[in-house]
């Protein structure tokens, strides 16, 4: 994969059903080999943007173009921990669309799923029930599922939420590997510090507040406009913390 | 041994046994998804919703299965549309429709049907009255359910595991959801002759719920549901014959007892789930 714009969004307004636009004026590009951090408060439009990129929402204004397969990596808490599937079963879901309904998953698909689990360091737990894995391991299983989809664009919804520090470091390592392969990653996050390590940041608060390289973009004023009342403090060096509730949109 | 099996030498018992085994197959194919997708209440509601349709079918000159399928299918479509709006609305609507169907059915039955036992048959089934027509209907329903399951099983698993992310996997989520509800409606209609409008859960829900603690995969859940449903059906039929009881309720009671035993044993071995 080469460094080309895999996602191009121009003056996008997105809505749910016939309702009013809940996200307005979004314009940015995501290139292969880059990670874009998507920052914003709960209800600010991060998930709405992802759903629009997946083609699940009507576009009210503007346009978007996504080149290649797009995979969505949800928060692990949104998946069913009591569902009787193993890590391998979950990774295999990435191949569900590859075969017509009358053909069973075969050795090729199972090999692809096993390889994807190996790439995220989980080959040892392939047969382990998904619900028995740690939060960080579950997140990596979901990333493996996206790899089986052979997705060039990955949309990751708060992948580090609820993950302990070693697990987070492992996931961050996986994300860097995916970036080095030329994939475009959009990572929704509340962690401003983490977002500073990405290549670009997109700040949303029902509309686009800012987009650009982290250092010049994540100013106090931008963060204040992005998080409004949820922004709590700026520390030395411009670091910020965010108070978050758990509602999503 | 031959004395034990002696009840099944009668033709009507053979038909009844064939019926419960067919329903065990339908229960295995769909029960796993009903339990995993938390559609047990829907399945019960779809069964109950057929009651007024069954009551008016005879006097109206309409085949009862056709009437039941129309009502159950409409119930499934209505619930699917409501479910896309809000889950709590779907639950509330299921309860509302269930109560309304039962009440309307009883009111209609009080004028339309003169025999109270006929109402009992509609509500609790008449397994010992199964004939070749009913068997053919159930066999057809099982074939249809098997085809729908083969077509949508991957989408059902993806949707059940990850409701929000399934569509991004390229599986047809909306069509699969509707197909599941309609397949359940078909299985419900096939079950009514055997266990009645009120007890469809005995064949479509209880065996799968019983099997749930035993299964580590969707496939094994189906296999366990199959043998549990078959054993409960055959044993219930035998007990009902020996004690001169209605088989549908006996199957339901056996199912409840087996569920309790399996659940308690699972809790004893693995602890009570948090």
Series of mean pLDDT values for 10-residue runs along chain B (274 residues): 82 95 96 92 86 81 83 81 65 81 83 58 84 92 96 95 90 91 90 86 95 93 97 95 92 96 90 72
User: How many A/B residue pairs have CB atoms within 8 Å?
Assistant: 73
What pLDDT does B117 receive? 44
What pLDDT does A242 receive? 58
- 3-class SS at A142? helix
Q: How confident is the model at residue A60 (pLDDT cuts 50, 70, 90)?
A: confident
- Lowest average pLDDT, out of A134-143, A188-197, B59-68, goes to B59-68
A5 touches chain B (CB under 8 A): no
Residue from the list B150, B162, B169 with its beta carbon closest to the beta carbon of A79: B162
CA distances A232 to A179, A211, A217, A235, B56, Å, are 31, 21, 18, 10, 66
Smallest CA-to-CA distance from B259 within B223, B209, B201 is with B209
A56 touches chain B (CB under 8 A): yes
Instruction: Give percent of chain A above pLDDT 90.
Output: 57
What mean pLDDT is predicted for residues A207-213?
A: 95
- Residues A218-241 pLDDT 10s: 988 899 899 876 554 545 444 555
Per-range mean pLDDT, top range of A21-35, A56-70, B59-73, B79-93:
A21-35
Q: Identify whether the C-beta of residue B195 lies closer than 8 Å to the C-beta of residue B252.
A: yes
Residue from the list B155, B164, B273 with its beta carbon closest to the beta carbon of A74: B164
Query: Which burial class, exposed, middle or buried, applies to A237 when counting CB atoms under 10 A from its CB (0-12, 13-18, 19+)?
Result: exposed
Cβ under 8 Å to B: A residues 124-143: 129-130, 142
Residue from the list A74, A79, A96 with its beta carbon closest to the beta carbon of B171: A96
What pLDDT does B113 receive? 54
Interface contact flag, A83 B221, Cβ < 8 Å: no
Three-class secondary structure assignment of chain B: CHHHHHHHHCHHHHHHHHHHHHHHHHHHHHHHHHHHCCCHHHHHHHHHHHHHHHHHHHHHCCCHHHHHHHHHHHHHHHHHHHHHHCHHHHHHHHHHHHHHHHHHHHHHHHHHCCCHHHHHHHHHCCHHHCCHHHHHHHHHHHHHHHHHHHHHHHHHHHHHHCCCCHHHHCCCHHHHHHHHHHHHHHHHHHHHHHHCCCCCHHHHCHHHHHHHHHCCCHHHHHHHHHHHHHHHHHHHHHHHHHHCCCHHHHHHHHHHHHHHHHHHHHHHHHCCCC
Q: How confident is the model at residue A115 (pLDDT cuts 50, 70, 90)?
A: very high
| B contacts of A131 (beta carbons < 8 Å) | none
What mean pLDDT is predicted for residues A173-183?
A: 92
Is the pLDDT at A62 greater than 70? The verdict is yes
Binding-site residues on chain B for chain A (CB distance < 8 A): 36, 150-152, 154-155, 157-158, 160-165, 167-171, 215-218, 220-221, 273
Interface contact flag, A84 B163, Cβ < 8 Å: no
Residue of A nearest to B153 (CA): A101
A71 touches chain B (CB under 8 A): yes
What pLDDT does B87 receive? 56
What pLDDT does B115 receive? 46
What pLDDT does A246 receive? 46
What pLDDT does A240 receive? 56
What pLDDT does B226 receive? 97
Chosen for mutation from A18, A46, A97 (greatest number of chain B CBs closer than 10 Å) is: A97
Residue of B nearest to A147 (CA): B169
């Amino acid at each position: 994969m080469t460094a080309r714009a895999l996602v191009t969004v121009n003056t996008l307004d997105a809505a749910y059903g016939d309702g009013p636009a809940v996200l307005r004026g979004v314009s940015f590009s995501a290139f292969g080999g880059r990670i874009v951090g998507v920052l914003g408060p709960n209800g600010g439009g991060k998930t709405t943007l992802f759903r629009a990129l997946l083609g699940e929402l009507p576009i009210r204004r503007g346009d978007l173009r996504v080149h290649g397969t797009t995979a969505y990596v949800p928060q692990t808490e949104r998946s069913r921990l009591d569902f009787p599937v193993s890590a391998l079963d979950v990774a295999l879901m990435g191949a569900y669309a590859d075969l017509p309904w009358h053909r069973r998953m075969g050795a090729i698909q199972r090999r692809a799923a096993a390889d994807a689990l190996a790439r995220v360091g989980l080959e040892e737990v392939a047969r382990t029930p998904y619900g028995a894995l740690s939060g960080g391991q579950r997140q990596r299983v979901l990333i493996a599922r996206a790899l089986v989809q052979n997705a060039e664009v990955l949309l990751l919804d708060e992948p580090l939420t609820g993950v302990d520090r070693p697990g987070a470091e492992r996931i961050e390592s996986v994300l860097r590997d995916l970036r080095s392969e030329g994939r475009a990653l959009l990572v929704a996050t509340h962690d401003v510090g983490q977002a500073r390590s990405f290549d670009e940041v997109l700040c949303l608060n029902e509309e686009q507040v800012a987009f650009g390289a982290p250092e010049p973009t994540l100013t106090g004023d931008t963060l204040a406009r992005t998080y409004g009342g949820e922004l709590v403090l700026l520390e030395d060096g411009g670091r910020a913390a965010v108070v978050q509730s758990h509602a999503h949109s | 041994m031959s004395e034990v099996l002696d009840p099944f030498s009668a033709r009507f018992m053979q038909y009844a046994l064939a019926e419960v085994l067919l329903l065990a197959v339908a229960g295995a194919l769909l029960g796993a998804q009903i339990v995993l997708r938390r559609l047990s209440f829907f399945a019960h509601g779809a069964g109950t919703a057929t009651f007024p349709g069954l009551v008016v079918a005879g006097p109206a000159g309409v085949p009862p299965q056709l009437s039941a399928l129309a009502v159950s299918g409409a119930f499934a479509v209505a619930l699917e549309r409501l479910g896309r709006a809000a889950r709590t609305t779907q639950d509330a609507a299921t309860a509302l429709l269930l109560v309304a169907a039962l009440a309307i059915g009883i009111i209609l039955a009080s004028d339309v049907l003169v025999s109270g036992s006929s109402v009992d048959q509609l509500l609790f089934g008449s397994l010992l009255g199964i004939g070749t027509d009913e068997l053919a209907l159930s066999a057809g329903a099982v074939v249809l359910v098997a085809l729908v399951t083969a077509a949508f099983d991957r989408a059902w698993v993806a949707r059940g595991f990850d409701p929000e992310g399934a569509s991004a996997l390229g599986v047809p989520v909306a069509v699969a959801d509707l197909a599941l509800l309609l397949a359940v409606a078909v299985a419900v209609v096939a079950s009514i002759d055997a266990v009645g409008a009120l007890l469809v859960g005995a064949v479509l829900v209880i065996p799968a719920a019983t099997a749930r603690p035993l299964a580590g995969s969707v496939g094994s859940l189906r296999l366990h549901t199959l043998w549990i449903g078959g054993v409960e059906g055959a044993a219930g039929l035998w007990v009902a014959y020996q004690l001169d009881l209605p088989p549908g309720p006996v199957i339901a009671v056996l199912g409840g007892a087996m569920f309790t035993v399996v659940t308690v044993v699972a809790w004893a071995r693995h602890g009570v789930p948090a």
